[in-house]
Structure 1
Amino acid sequence: MRAPTLRQHLHTRSLALLAALFAAIWLFVELAEDMAEGETHGFDRAILLAFRNPAAEPLGPPWLQTVMRDITALGGLTVLGFVTLAVAGLLWAQSRRRSAGLLLLAIIGGQVFSHVAKAVFDRPRPDLVPHGTLVSSASFPSGHAMMAAVVWLTLAAMVTRVQPSRLVRVYLTALAIAVTVAVGFSRVWLGVHWPTDVLAGWAAGAAWALICRALAELLDPLPGPQPAAPTPAR
């Protein structure tokens, strides 16, 4: 049996990425429809209250709230903006200007979509429990969860494209996913988002990150493997 060719491998990977993109878009649309029809209220309420004691205080020791605020900052615009500019500057210095531009496009486009979606759905923030941090915008989708997915997953995609070690690629991707999940969890734990806000944010962010990954493949392709030098005749 012949080993899969490079073209077959790329075709399989492209199909997997396309399937993941459609799954993320479908999940966001389904959540948006169910939320608009009020079908998620019971689920949202049960999950949100599961992280509170009878006095509506967060579970766990007092210092855990500080930890959760620190984690939630990893999805805030200030941290993500600094990280994005730093990595984009590095890519620019390495003459990978298209990748730098795509990275900036990722965070700008994600932020625009987040603001538009919040304005369209205009879902109120949870009022069941006191908020563990300040909030000033609508609830659906979670901007922190979405932007964490957009930036950390896109950064992982940019780095793993040029990383030859499969183990390192898996590690960086898993790390980006872990940070994204932690940010979303912190938003629910702090009581500032309904769980479906976070799920929708993850779905929208993952979809946008996959689109940016595809654009990087098209607009900034990596050089293919160099053919082996011919063996000199003896």
Structure 2
Amino acid sequence: MRVEPLVLAMLACFAGGLFLFERLASEVLEGETLQVDQSILLALRRPGDLSAPIGPAWLAHAVDDITALGGVTVLTLVTLLVTAYLLFDRRSRTAFFVLLSVLTGWLASTSLKFLVARPRPEVVPHLVDVTDFSFPSGHAMVSAVTYLTLGALLARIQIYRSARVFVMGAGVFLTLVVGMSRVFLGVHYPTDVLGGWCAGALWALGCWMLLRFLGDAGGDRNGSGTGGPSGKE
């Protein structure tokens, strides 16, 4: 049976990402990354006052707003609204795929946190309240699952390649800024965020591979794919 090059590339990326996450988690459990993690957190605070982040006052407010993009409330609203839209658009399989991807990603994030059980960083004061474990960052992981999944779905229905690149780029950008905001706020080590990005991307890729295996989700209405003509500039 002939295997598409894209499928092979996805499998290779999945295997590589799984290896990287395993190595990162191993280093975290052994405490090998702690010194670098703490150095980065300290570098983001003023030397004379560790409760004050570097940069102008508006930056802290902006980062606080950005981190909300990866919070439970915002991601739940985004997921439910997208799911409802897809249902109204007669794309029930795609709606189920989006909802299931995000929900299972959330469960996976929580499970990994309890398995690793890494305490939150205390080298600098937290700028927002947190209560659970630290690795991997839930904000980084679930925002990656949500925004990368939605980006991939939206990219498939774009006619022009430039539009597809922009949509996927927007998903990656949102994932990155949410993760970085957690480090700036002092509630996660940088390796927590790296682990969250890696695990979230893996989860989104795994769900997307499963979707391809089960059949094209874009064929809900008429049995054809959602993607428009390919290759246009």
Which AA in structure 1 matches 2:123?
L
Q: Distance in 2 between matches of 1:64 and 1:126?
A: 21
Rounded Cα–Cα distance in structure 2 between residues aligned with 1:216 and 1:97: 13
Q: Distance in 1 between matches of 2:187 and 2:95?
A: 33
Cα distance change of structure 1 residues 67 and 21 upon mapping to structure 2, 3 Å threshold: same
Unaligned runs of 5+ in 1: 1-7, 226-234
Any idea what SS the aligned residue of 1:140 has?
A: coil
- In the other structure, the counterpart of 1:147 is 142
Structure 1 partner of 2:193:
198
Residue deviations 1:31-86 (CA, integer Å, cap 9, x gap) = 11001111111111111112112021210111211111110011111100100111
Residue type matched to 1:179 in 2?
Answer: L
Compute the displacement of 1:220 (Å).
Answer: 4.3
What is the identity, as a one-letter code, of the residue corresponding to 1:116? S
> CA–CA distance in 2 between the matches of 1:215 and 1:99?
12
Equivalence for 1:12: 5
Which one has a bigger Cα radius of gyration? Answer: 1
Cα distance, 1:28 vs. partner?
1.3
Residue 36 of structure 1 corresponds to which residue in structure 2? 29
Q: Deviations over 1:171-211 (max 9, x none)?
A: 01111101100001000000000000000000000000001
* Gap runs ≥5 in structure 2: 219-223, 227-233
Instruction: Give SS of 1:74's match.
Output: helix
CA distance in 2, matches of 1:23, 1:88: 31
Tell me which residue corresponds to 1:228: none
Partner of 1:3: none
> Counterpart of 1:157?
152
1:211 is matched with which residue: 206, 209, 216?
Answer: 206
One-letter code aligned to 1:41: L
Q: 1:127 aligns with which of 111, 116, 122?
A: 122
What residue in structure 2 maps to residue 230 of structure 1? none
Q: Which residue of 1 aligns with 2:95?
A: 100
Measured after TM superposition, the shift of residue 91 of structure 1 is 1.1
- Select 1:60's aligned residue among 45, 50, 55: 55
For the Cα contact (< 8 Å) 1:99–1:220, is it kept in 2?
no
The CA deviation at 1:103 is 0.5
In 1, Cα distance between equivalents of 2:167 and 2:215: 21
TM-score with structure 1 setting the length:
0.88
Could you list the structure 1 runs, at least 4 aligned residues long, displaced by more than 3 angstroms after superposition.
none
1:217 CA displacement? 2.2
Residue 224 of structure 1 deviates from its aligned partner by 6.0
Q: TM-score, normalised by structure 2?
A: 0.89
1:123 and 1:90 map into 2 onto residues whose CA distance is: 38
Equivalent in 50, 56, 73 of residue 43 of structure 2:
50
Is contact 1:146-1:203 (8 Å) kept? yes
Instruction: Supply the RMSD in Å over aligned alpha carbons.
Output: 1.6
Count of paired positions: 217
Could you tell me how far apart the structure 2 residues matched to 1:111 and 1:122 are? Answer: 16
